[in-house]
Structure 1
């Protein structure tokens, strides 16, 4: 059975010719973002979208879609999630998607409650977990040393921050 996955979320328009920035949610954007690729969308009425152009500018993917050839048309796509259907793409737990983690409880190694995962920011060097705490939002590098456990069944993430990480921004 196939399942839909978010591979990107459309951001702001770039320039005047319909290009949009995207927040990438796939580990292989070069294979996913090729001219001629078609994406289902969320919300569904905005798609499907046929990719006509791809380029990188200062590390950001810029995409163009058929029928969206100016800045106004590109602005209408802001917030759209690009979806693909994958059959057996990877084993569960090999990689994480934002929709997998949002809403998970976040605790410290001693079991005390820290907050809740509110977003996953995919970055070239390392991903960042955004955690909503009672004192505000905190970004935690999503690396094994700082996030030693992700329990899918319990919908819980354990964060082991170095001294001072949780105090940044206070």
Structure 2
């Protein structure tokens, strides 16, 4: 399961989706979800802040959900005032943010960036680093972990990050071999590659 869920633009806002492409001729847009609870987030009347380039006509504006559907396995959303394909295309790639409500504190699997930064990163009950920041990408988020004198990028997915314990101040990871340490023979392999490159010069 992807952990690209409900991250903070400001301390009182959550990122919950990204508009991928226009769908049909009546203003619908396919939606990439960044929340585990779309039925609650995308109710009729829900209002979102739009993250778009400054040159976009939507910059600085909000938008309101008219209808949310799942069509052929895809999340599709209609907005008030977006009634045709041309209007929908002007919103493609916009990121949707929503004001936090009181229920968000009880939602599982949703954390703010500022809650995660600074937490110990633990593997097999041993601290292997400290979380520096979270980098957000369309496919998934990455935890940037300071481990010694280097930064390690850890995919923020449940298979590798099974536990986030804010109260205990730690994130438990089960990384694949070689993510936090060099594997035996890795140095020798790199030396051999450098020697081969030098010989060919």
User: Could you say whether these structures have the same fold, taking a TM-score greater than 0.5 normalized by the shorter chain as the test?
Assistant: yes
Q: How far apart are the structure 2 equivalents of 1:148 and 1:112?
A: 15
Q: Which residue, 164, 174, 178 being the options, matches 1:160? A: 174
Q: TM-score, normalised by structure 1?
A: 0.61
Q: How far apart are the structure 2 equivalents of 1:111 and 1:56?
A: 42
Q: List runs of 5+ in structure 2 lacking aligned partners.
A: 1-10, 53-57, 181-201
Query: What secondary structure, in the 3-state scheme, does the structure 1 residue paired with 2:83 have?
Result: coil
RMSD of the TM alignment (CA)? 4.2
1:8 and 2:17 correspond: yes
**CA shift at 1:27, angstroms?**
2.9
CA spacing shift, 1:96–1:57, aligned 2, 3 Å: same
Map residues 20-35 of structure 1 onto 2, 5 A cutoff.
20-35=29-44
Cα deviation digits, residues 108-156 of structure 1 (max 9, x gap): 726556x97433779xxxxx6546899xx8756325x7434566998x8
Map residues 64-83 of structure 1 onto 2, 5 A cutoff.
64-83=78-97
Q: How far apart are the structure 1 equivalents of 2:164 and 2:81?
A: 44
1:62 and 2:76 correspond: yes
Query: In structure 2, what is the equivalent of residue 118 of structure 1?
Result: 135
**CA shift at 1:46, angstroms?**
5.4
When you count strand as a share of all residues, which structure comes out higher? 1
CA spacing shift, 1:62–1:100, aligned 2, 3 Å: farther
When you count helix as a share of all residues, which structure comes out higher? 2
Structure number with larger C-alpha Rg: 2
Q: Which residue, 148, 162, 176 being the options, matches 1:147? A: 162
Cα deviation digits, residues 52-80 of structure 1 (max 9, x gap): 22211232210111222222221211222
Query: In structure 1, what is the equivalent of residue 48 of structure 2?
Result: 39
CA spacing shift, 1:97–1:112, aligned 2, 3 Å: closer
Q: List runs of 5+ in structure 1 lacking aligned partners.
A: 123-127
Q: TM-score, normalised by structure 2?
A: 0.54
Contact 1:9 1:82 in 2 (8 A): yes
**CA shift at 1:93, angstroms?**
8.4
**CA shift at 1:42, angstroms?**
2.5
CA spacing shift, 1:158–1:82, aligned 2, 3 Å: same
